[in-house]
């Protein structure tokens, strides 16, 4: 072989959570690992660079702005702070991987040439890497809806663009009222933007129960976010200094003038350019890499971890994917995606909305015999922390199996919900009943002790 060919035990394509954890563990076991990342701005993956870390940091900074702070100056300061943080994390991720004796990081675009060979780069800089085992961890990217004029608009932004742009849009139009759209609507309104959310469904957060979604919507609208549901965006049209969004509602056409348009209509697996066909790797109808419950692709020596395999798009799922793959490569080979019970999610509006398991409407549609425990945060006597930190908005709701007392699901719209949901999830995974959770001893004053009251409030 020529000097432009590397031989490794394992190739990892993509520097995301699952890929880097698997690479580190395999490297510690003496495996020769080559980790390939397309961009030097993405060491560590989506979360520390353009996802969880910067967005949640912006949530924090937006809440610190005082009424007399200049929105633009405060926003520019916040973005600078966030970028410094992500740069620190990015460098740390790179050094941790590339500093290991058994791991080599290569920056460049990867594509398969055959089932065991990946090419990186082009022309004279092209490197071929061969390995017996390959992990695909290329993540996902924002989807731009096929609305006339949207893709070509000079004022179109994705969530990735917004967290890097130091100019605060005076008027922000958000297309999509799901988790991503609502999170950014909340962030940018608190920074000082005039935010309008356009949602095609009758209500934002359509996956949630109506009472939970209505409570979240009420918090947003009370703060000043405009939410227009049951709309169809017809066209996005750039003008000299602003952009016009044309939408239809109730059989009539309306226009919304904005300074930026956020496309928040979902994310799709990144497989373009990988030449998966040359490796014999199949994809699903939605473009994800097809995998079995052990995350093996149609080629048994190739695995796919994280968003690219079409599973839940959460960093912690990518982390768990690495456990499954490592169990296949280094362990007993028993771990699988079927082991997962109760996967939580959090929408970081203010206060956050955290959910797990079944909604009430899902449980009733399944024909389950259920009881529901629900209370508004302001009415939970055992939760003084909400008053202490001056955040009494929201509600807590549990869906409980009436026959077994097992918790089937929960929706917590409250201060500290992102932490509380982990306790509920652990209870669900280990068969702790609603009564046991209700009667447990919690520290005081804490948010967790709200469970003492809420789980007694059957409606």
Residue 3 pLDDT greater than 80, yes or no:
no
Do residue 14 and residue 121 come from a single domain? Answer: yes
- pLDDT tens for 228-253 read 999 999 999 999 999 999 999 999 99
In this structure, what token pair is assigned to residue 162? 């917004």
The last residue of one of the domains, among 265, 285, 311, is 265
Q: Is 147 part of any domain?
A: no
DSSP 265: S
Question: What whole-number distance in Å separates Cα of residue 172 and Cα of residue 290?
Answer: 37
Over residues 325-337, mean pLDDT: 96
Split at pLDDT 50, 70, 90, the class of 208 is very high
Structure tokens at 298: 């149609």
135, 13: one domain:
yes
- Residues 133, 46, single domain; the answer is yes
Q: Are residues 251 and 288 in the same domain?
A: no
What is the per-residue burial (b if ≥16 Cβ within 10 Å, else e) of 97-116? beebebbbbbbbebbbeebb
Give per-residue pLDDT as tens, 346-367: 999 999 999 999 999 999 999 9
Tell me what the mean pLDDT of segment 287-305 comes to.
Answer: 98
Find the mean pLDDT for residues 397-404: 98
42 or 317: which carries more pLDDT confidence?
A: 317
DSSP calls for 282-340:
-B-TTSPBP--TT-B-SSTTEEE-GGGGTS---HHHHHHHHHHHHHHHTS-S---GGG-
pLDDT tens digit string along 50-95? 677 888 888 888 888 888 889 899 889 888 888 888 888 888 888 8
Residue 39's CB: how many other CB atoms inside 10 A? 11
Q: Choose one of 225, 241, 265: the last residue of a domain.
A: 265
Q: Is the predicted pLDDT of residue 451 greater than 90, yes or no?
A: yes
DSSP 8-state symbol, 458: B
Backbone angles phi, psi at 418, to 5 degrees: -65, -25
47 has pLDDT over 80: no
Render pLDDT for 23-36 as a digit per residue (tens, 0 to 9).
Answer: 999 999 999 999 99
pLDDT at position 68:
83
Residue 306 belongs to a domain: yes
Question: Is residue 450 a part of any domain in this protein?
Answer: yes
Nearest one of 134, 101, 97 to 30, comparing CA atoms: 101
Token pair recorded at residue 328: 């296949």
| CATH code of the domain containing 83 | 3.50.50.60
Shared domain for 11 and 126, answered yes or no, is yes
Q: How many domains would you assign to the chain?
A: 3
Whether 53 maps to a domain, the answer reads yes
* Model pLDDT for residues 94-111, shown as the tens digit of each residue: 888 878 899 999 999 999
Does residue 275 share a domain with residue 132? Answer: yes
Q: Which helix (H) or strand (E) holds 19?
A: helix 17-28
- The fraction of the chain above a pLDDT of 70, given in percent, is 99
In which domain, by residue range, is 352 found?
A: 345-454
User: Closest Cα partner for 201 from 178, 229, 176?
Assistant: 229
Domain boundary among 265, 289, 322: 265
Q: Judge whether 409 lies within some domain.
A: yes
Instruction: Please tell me whether residue 70 adopts helix, strand or coil conformation.
Output: coil
Helix (H) or strand (E) holding 347: strand 345-347
Examine the domain organization and report whether 388 and 415 are in the same domain. yes
321 and 284 together in one domain: yes
Q: Quick one: average pLDDT of 319-336?
A: 96
Per-residue pLDDT tens digits for 126-156 = 999 999 999 999 999 989 999 999 999 999 9
231 neighbors 198 (Cβ within 8 angstroms): yes
pLDDT band at 8 (very low <50, low <70, confident <90, very high): very high
The DSSP symbol for 379 reads: G
Give the separation between CA 430 and CA 213, rounded to whole angstroms. Answer: 28
131 and 13 in one domain?
A: yes
Residue 1: which pLDDT band, with cuts at 50, 70 and 90? Answer: very low
Q: Which among 247, 251, 199 has a CA at the least distance from the CA of 221? A: 199
CATH of the domain at 383: 3.30.390.30
Residue with the bigger pLDDT between 294 and 265: it is 294
Whether residue 248 sits in one domain with residue 277: no
Q: Which of 44, 10, 42, 43 is nearest to 27 (CA)?
A: 10
163 — pLDDT class (breaks 50, 70, 90): confident
Are residues 390 and 327 part of one domain?
Answer: no
Mean pLDDT of the chain: 93
* Band (321; pLDDT cuts 50, 70, 90): very high
Name the nearest CA neighbour of 313 among 2, 46, 119, 76: 46
Catalytic residues: 444
Mean pLDDT calculated for residue range 317-345: 96
Q: Do 75 and 136 share a domain, yes or no?
A: yes
Considering the domain boundaries, does residue 149 fall inside one? no
- Residue 401 is predicted with a pLDDT of 98
Residue 459 has what pLDDT?
80
């Amino acid at each position: 072989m020529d000097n432009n060919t590397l031989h490794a035990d394992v190739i990892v394509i993509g520097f995301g959570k699952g890929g880097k954890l698997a690479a580190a563990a395999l490297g510690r076991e003496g495996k020769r690992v080559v980790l390939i990342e397309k961009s030097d701005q993405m060491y560590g993956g989506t979360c520390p660079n353009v996802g969880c870390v910067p967005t949640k940091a912006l949530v924090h900074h937006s809440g610190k702005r005082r009424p007399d702070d200049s929105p633009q100056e405060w926003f520019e300061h916040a973005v600078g702070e966030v970028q410094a943080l992500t740069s620190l994390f990015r460098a740390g991720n790179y050094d941790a991987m590339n500093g290991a004796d058994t791991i080599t990081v290569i920056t460049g675009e990867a594509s398969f040439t055959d089932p065991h060979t990946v090419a990186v780069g082009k022309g004279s800089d092209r490197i071929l890497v061969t390995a017996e085992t390959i992990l695909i961890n290329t993540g996902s990217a924002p989807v731009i809806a096929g609305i006339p004029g949207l893709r070509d608009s000079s004022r179109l932004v994705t969530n990735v663009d917004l967290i890097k742009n130091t100019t605060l849009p005076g008027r922000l139009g958000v297309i999509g009222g799901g988790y991503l759209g609502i999170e950014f609507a909340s962030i940018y309104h608190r920074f000082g933007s005039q935010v309008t959310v356009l949602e095609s469904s009758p209500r934002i957060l359509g996956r949630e129960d109506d009472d939970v979604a209505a409570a979240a919507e009420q918090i947003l609208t009370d703060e000043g976010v405009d939410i227009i549901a049951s709309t169809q965006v017809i066209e996005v049209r750039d003008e000299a200094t602003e952009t016009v969004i044309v939408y239809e509602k109730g059989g009539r056409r309306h226009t919304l003038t904005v300074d930026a348009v956020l496309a928040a209509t979902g994310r799709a697996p990144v497989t373009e350019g990988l030449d998966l066909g040359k490796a014999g790797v199949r994809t699903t109808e939605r473009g994800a890499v097809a995998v079995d419950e052990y995350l093996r692709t149609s080629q048994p020596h190739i695995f796919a971890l994280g968003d690219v395999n079409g599973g839940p798009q959460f960093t912690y799922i990518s982390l768990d994917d690495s456990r499954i793959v490592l169990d296949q490569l280094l362990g007993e080979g028993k771990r699988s995606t079927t082991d997962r019970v109760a996967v939580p999610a959090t929408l970081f509006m203010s206060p956050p909305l955290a959910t797990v398991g079944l909604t009430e409407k899902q449980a009733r549609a399944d024909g389950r015999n259920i009881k529901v425990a629900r209370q508004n945060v302001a009415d939970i006597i055992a939760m003084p922390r909400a008053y202490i930190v001056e955040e009494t908005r929201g509600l807590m709701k549990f869906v409980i199996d009436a026959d077994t007392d097992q918790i089937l699901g929960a929706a917590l719209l409250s201060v500290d919900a992102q932490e509380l949901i982990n306790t509920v999830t652990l209870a669900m995974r280990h068969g702790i009943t609603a009564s046991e959770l209700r009667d447990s001893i919690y520290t005081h004053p804490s948010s967790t002790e709200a469970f003492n009251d809420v789980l007694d409030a059957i409606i």
